[in-house]
Amino acid sequence: MPADQQLAKSLKPRHLSMIAIAGVIGAGLFVGSGAAIQQAGPGILLAYMAAGVVVILVMRMLGEMAAANPETGSFSTYADKALGRWAGFSIGWLYAWFWIIVLGIEATAGAAIMHRWVPGIDQWVWALILMVLLTLTNLVSVKSYGEFEFWFASIKVAAIVLFLLFGAAAILGFVPGVPAPGLSNLIGNGGFLPNGPGAVLAGILVVVFSFFGAEIATIAAGESENPVDAVKKAVKSTVWRILVFYIGSIAIVVTLLPWNDASVAKSPYVAVIELFGIPGAGTIMDIVVLTSVLSCLNSGLYTASRMLFSLSRRGDAPQAWTRISRRGVPAAAVLASTVVGFVTVGMNYIAPDTVFLFLVNTSGAIALFVWLVIASSQLILRKRMGAAGKDLALKMWLFPYLTWLSIVSIVALLIGMVILESTRESLLLSVALAAVVVGVGVWRYRKSAGRPGGGEPPAGEPRESAPEAAPAS
C-alpha cells in the first residue's frame, strides 16, 4: 500500500498504556457495580475475580496473536486466517455494531450529567454536542484521539488511586471519624454469601461485561511506532489493572459499607466518599463518570471506525471506507461510524423503551462471542505457528490447557445467560443477529469455506502476509 494510504503511526507508548487502562475502567465500574453488589453481597468479589481471570486469559491469547502479527483489524483478521473468511467477516461486523450501540448509550449518559449541570440546555442537545466534539477529535488525527484518551484515562486512574488510598486508610482506622470496620461488613448482614452461591454465578454475568474493552489496545497498537512492544506491555499490565482497579476498589466498598445499604445500590463510590466526609461527593463522582463516558465515546468511535476500515480493506465493507486522510486517519470509516452512532442516539430519545432497547439487546452477548472467537483462533494459529517453528514474542500460558479452559468458561457463561431470566432475551437477540451476520458471511464465502484460512480475499484485496514474530522475551 502506498505511504499516503497508510494509517498514521503516531500513537506513543504512553498513549497505548492509557488506552489499555481506559478500556477496562468504565462507567460500569463506578455506577453499575452497585447493582452487582446488591445481587451477591460481599461474595461479588468472587464474581469479579472469576470474570477477571477469563479476561486475563483472553487478553493473553489475543496478545500472543497481536504480537506475532499486529493488525488494525485485530481478532477479526485472526479469525479470518484461523477459522475462515466468513468468521472474520462476521465477528468484525458484530464488534463494530457493539461499539456503535455503545455510542448511543454513552452519549445519552454524558448528556444526562451535562443537563443536570446546565438544565437550560435540553439533554438531546448535549448528546449532539458530545458526539460532534468527539467525532472531530477522531477526524483530526489518531494522535488527537490518543491525547484525549491519555488525559481521560489519567483522570480515571487518579480518581481510583485516591479512592484506594483513602479506602485502605479507613479500613486500617487512619481516617478521623470513620471507625475501622474489621470484617463486620464482610461476614455480617447474612454472611459473605448472603444470597447463596447462585447469586455469585449470576453476578459473574453482570460484571463480565464491565471488562470488555481491554482488547482496544491491540487494535490501537497497529497505529503505534512499535506495535509488538506496545502489545506486550498492554497485555502484561492487564493482570495488575484488574486486580488493583476493579477487585481492589470493590473490596474497599464491601468492607467499609454494608452490602445491603440503599446508598450502595444507588452509587457505591459516592457512598464511600460521603463516608469519608468529603463535601460534594455526588459532584465529584459526576465528574469522574462524565470523564469515563467521554473516554468510552472516544474509544467507541475509534474502535468501530478501525474495524470498519479493516473490513473494507479485506473487501467485507464498502471500498470507500478505505480512504485515508492526509493526516493518516480513515475519515470515511469514522464518518460511517458516526452516522449510525447519531441514529442510535436519536433512537434513545425517540423510542428509548422500544427501538433503542431492542438495539441494545442485540449487542448484549457480543462480548462473549468475541472472546470465544479469540480463544478459538489462538488455538488454531498457535498450532500452525508451532508447526512452522516460529518463535513468539508473547506466549499463552500452559497452552493448550488454559485455552481450552477459557473456551469452556465462555460457553458456560453463554449457557448461564440462557438460564438467567434477566439476560435470556439479550442473548437470544444477540444470537439472532449473529446468525444473520454469520449466514451472510458463509453465503459470501461459501466457495472458500473448506480451505485453510478460508481462502483468499476478493480480487483487488490481497491478504497481508504476517510479519515474522519477534524473539520471545
C-alpha cell at 378: 489462538
d(CA 119, CA 23): 30
Q: Which of 4-8, 402-406, 417-421 is predicted most confidently?
A: 402-406
- Provide the 10 A C-beta neighbour count for residue 221: 29
Proportion of the chain above pLDDT 90, given as a percent: 38
Instruction: Describe the chain by its helix, strand, coil percentages, rounded to 5.
Output: 75, 0, 25
Residue range 43-62: mean pLDDT, rounded: 91
Check: CB of residue 91 under 8 Å from CB of residue 390: no
What pLDDT is attached to residue 459? Answer: 36
Residue range 316-345: mean pLDDT, rounded: 90
Residue in 366, 359, 355, 360 with CA at minimum distance from that of residue 431: 366
Instruction: Of 23-37, 76-90, 273-287, give the lowest mean pLDDT range.
Output: 23-37
What pLDDT is attached to residue 207? Answer: 84
d(CA 215, CA 71): 12
Q: Look over the chain and give the mean of its residue pLDDT values, rounded to a whole number.
A: 85
Residue range 297-314: mean pLDDT, rounded: 90
Name the residue with higher pLDDT: 473 or 455. Answer: 455
What pLDDT is attached to residue 473? Answer: 32
What pLDDT is attached to residue 317? Answer: 93
Q: Is the pLDDT of residue 61 over 70?
A: yes
pLDDT confidence tier of residue 448, bands split at 50, 70 and 90? low
What pLDDT is attached to residue 458? Answer: 40
Instruction: Of 2-16, 56-70, 79-93, 243-257, give the lowest mean pLDDT range.
Output: 2-16
Residue range 116-140: mean pLDDT, rounded: 91
Question: Per-residue pLDDT tens for 70-102?
Answer: 887 889 999 999 999 999 999 999 999 999 998
Which are the contacts of 19, defined by CB distance < 8 A and separation ≥ 6?
11, 146, 149, 150, 153, 216, 217, 220, 234, 299
d(CA 310, CA 95): 12
Q: Is the pLDDT of residue 35 over 50?
A: yes
C-alpha cell at 398: 500452559
Instruction: Of 25-29, 58-62, 365-369, 401-405, give the lowest mean pLDDT range.
Output: 25-29
Q: Is the pLDDT of residue 231 over 50?
A: yes
| Side-chain-facing half-sphere of 385: CA atoms under 13 Å | 27
What pLDDT is attached to residue 396? Answer: 93
Q: Is the pLDDT of residue 193 over 80?
A: yes
pLDDT confidence tier of residue 32, bands split at 50, 70 and 90? confident
Proportion of the chain above pLDDT 70, given as a percent: 92
| Entry pTM | 0.89
Backbone angles phi, psi at 148, to 5 degrees: -60, -45
Q: Is 224 helix (H, G, I), strand (E, B) or coil?
A: strand
Q: Which of 45-49, 243-247, 265-269 is predicted most confidently?
A: 45-49
Buried/exposed code over 60-91 (b: 16+ C-beta within 10 A; e: otherwise): bbbbbbbbbbbbbbbbbbbbbbbbbbbbbbbb
- Output the DSSP codes for 367-406: HHHHHHHHHHHHHHHHHHHHHTT---SS--TTTTHHHHHH
- Cα–Cα distances in angstroms (integers) from residue 342 to residues 105, 127, 307, in the given order: 11, 9, 18
Residue in 128, 96, 254, 289 with CA at minimum distance from that of residue 183: 254
pLDDT confidence tier of residue 471, bands split at 50, 70 and 90? very low
